[in-house]
Chain A
């Protein structure tokens, strides 16, 4: 005889065990399990801010969720029908209940929402939306042209000007320097896409006919994923690229060589291949 007698409880336990196995396997350490459930550490200057905000929201919501659960479960257990106890329930129409409801409503809908509107929106506006790009002329400007199902990137090359023959054009590969702000202009040829570099904590929609701006400043060298975060058709899942972040000195050498190759490849008769636009700051 199993120590747990209820069949339902056994099923619930088995499900929980399966979920735990799914969550843990095939991890070899507790750290691996933690890593699996959180995003990669941020690789951009403002990335930590987003992680802090994410943590704050998770904790706030988690605490609220716990309070609501307790408020739900306690009466359900306390007032349930059992031998010697009749189930009790309440329409909540007494004056006391009405007062209580009014107080909670006022607190939640006025005090909390007002706080969210005034304080949180101010934080978002100044700290998370339209964050000012570092005020330096040393910015790498990148034009991103999305299409079904690829990313076209254009970087200015060694002359620093977009729309010139030495522009470096690439498909699904973007090479940027470390510790320099990268300003992006994102648009699309066909449908709505969304440029997403999770490690840089940057995501911007690519709308046909509109140029959307974003920026990030990589603080780590390495290779990172570029994804499309907007369902854009059949091969949306294959629409990914690679972001190479090179240390500054290596980047300069790379840029020089890439520009030289771009110049060798430049075909003056092929006007259509030069799709640059006036960069929107």
Chain B
């Protein structure tokens, strides 16, 4: 009897000793910040990383979001006071002095956003949201820093801050050809993450700066190639005509000053008119150019990303002509690409809508015909580069 019991007793004693010697629960001080009492099981992070947000944030709100909230809210919550909305719950508040709406995002929302941010986003965008996570090292293009409130490919003109819906679409779409994936996380969780990301704007910048304005996605008129209300349009159901017009417009608007040119120098000069007949270009004409002045700063030094070659590079957010149209029209905030379209239907853009549509079709044509087709692409580019 003793012989069989002894090993068991010894083992139990060892276990008990191990339990006494092992560190107990980590105290709140050790964690850096008090964890929220009801952490979901996934909310684990490297030692010392705070997972809760103690204070709510007062962020700029978009008028259209408030109108939508008012339409969906229970009766009696929102009422009109003159031209502005008054929220009985106090979540949204009109600031008469700055003439903006503020949204008070509660700490609970930010904590949920923070926890998902740490789980999903921090490996690249950093635990502080500064764009310098563990996996960010050497990544080009570098992951966005959320401390600077500029976002590429939101389809919102660079003069404005993007609205939540535009950011949500971007996160769900992903950026092709980069590690920014199409995020299949539920919309509610993504919205909480976005609130947290917006709250990362430093004091008096981004969503905390009342002089900023939140904008809508660029005005997108119907595509003349598919627009059934204008069947008389010469491009209607004839994309090749739009592509031909786009080739001309692309070179006329000098897209090749950043992107590659897809014409021989002779053709290009013929298109530019008699005064350019003998213009000579350097070899970089048919390559994307590195623009130092539009570079992006990472931890104190600048990273320059060249404009894409449409026969070579994957388009970040341009799976069809419509997406390409919106990228061209809205421009790319934080890059060299200006806003080419018009922000609202009454304004006048620097390039007419129809020509942007033509260029969009041309770009999609280049992508579809030559990307991942090395033989065809080599033949095409050799032709372009011949004198």
List the interface of chain A (C-beta within 8 A of B).
145, 147-150, 152, 169, 171-172, 189-190, 233-235, 238, 244, 246, 250, 253-254, 257, 260-261, 264-265, 267, 269-270, 272-275
- Across the interface, B181 reaches (CB within 8 A) one of A238, A253, A269, A275, namely A238
Question: Contact mask B181-222 → A, CB, 8 Å, 1/0?
Answer: 110000000000000000000000000000000000000000
Task: Answer yes or no: B375 CB below 8 A from chain A CBs.
Answer: yes
Asked if B287 and A147 make an inter-chain contact with CB atoms under 8 angstroms apart, the answer reads no
When C-beta atoms are compared, the residue in chain A nearest to B116 turns out to be A234
* Docked pose: A234 CA to B181 CA in angstroms: 11
Asked if A189 and B137 make an inter-chain contact with CB atoms under 8 angstroms apart, the answer reads yes
28 A-B pairs with C-beta separation under 8 A: A145-B138, A147-B123, A147-B135, A149-B179, A150-B178, A150-B179, A152-B138, A152-B139, A169-B140, A171-B177, A190-B135, A233-B123, A234-B119, A238-B181, A244-B372, A253-B374, A257-B378, A260-B287, A261-B309, A264-B284, A264-B290, A265-B290, A267-B304, A269-B302, A270-B301, A270-B302, A273-B140, A273-B303
* Docked pose: A200 CA to B129 CA in angstroms: 39
* Docked pose: A260 CA to B311 CA in angstroms: 14
When C-beta atoms are compared, the residue in chain A nearest to B183 turns out to be A235
A-B contact count (CB 8 A): 84
Asked if B306 and A265 make an inter-chain contact with CB atoms under 8 angstroms apart, the answer reads yes
When C-beta atoms are compared, the residue in chain B nearest to A258 turns out to be B312
- Across the interface, A264 reaches (CB within 8 A) one of B123, B135, B140, B306, namely B306
Given A190-B134, A250-B374 in contact, is the A234-B120 Cβ separation under 8 Å?
A: yes
Task: Answer yes or no: B328 CB below 8 A from chain A CBs.
Answer: no
* Docked pose: A149 CA to B139 CA in angstroms: 12
Residues of A within 8 A of B381 (CB): 257
Task: Answer yes or no: B124 CB below 8 A from chain A CBs.
Answer: yes
Task: Answer yes or no: B239 CB below 8 A from chain A CBs.
Answer: no
Residues of B within 8 A of A234 (CB): 119-120
Task: Answer yes or no: B106 CB below 8 A from chain A CBs.
Answer: no
Asked if B303 and A261 make an inter-chain contact with CB atoms under 8 angstroms apart, the answer reads no
Residues of B within 8 A of A273 (CB): 138, 140, 303
- Across the interface, A148 reaches (CB within 8 A) one of B135, B289, B303, B377, namely B135
